[in-house]
Amino acid sequence: MIALKRAYEPPAKSDGRRVLVDRLWPRGVSKARARIDDWERDIAPSTELRKWFSHRPDRWIEFQQRYHAELRGKSTELQALKRSARKLTLIYGAQDSAHAHALVLKEMLAKR
């Protein structure tokens, strides 16, 4: 089971393994408060893609396509992440939960 949660939400025992999937640490969140088990920077969108997207909803469809292309080159990392826990919560920092890269990542993991 894969869940999504913003880094600003409090951790819960039901989260299982908590993995931060952002390239940058979320602003204003201490490591103690976040209770992150692992930080998988390499499966986050590239810096170039993140800057291009700039959380603009009008670029969401193309962002998904570009991010899928980046993730196709990281199958080993994706498999390891998926096998790592029965319950996995992907942690992200974006304010706009409807246009967060973690949605794309969750979908990709669910297909595997």
User: Per residue in 38-73, pLDDT tens?
Assistant: 999 999 999 999 999 999 999 999 999 999 999 999
Which residues are CB-neighbours of 76 under 8 A, at least 6 positions away? none
Say if pTM beats, i.e. exceeds, 0.75.
yes
- The secondary element (H helix, E strand) that includes residue 3 is strand 2-6
pLDDT above 70 for 112: no
Torsion angle, alpha carbons of 57, 27, 81, 77, to 10? 80
CA-angle at 61, arms to 86 and 9, nearest 5°: 45
| Structural domain boundaries in the chain | 2-111
User: Per residue in 13-27, pLDDT tens?
Assistant: 999 999 999 999 999
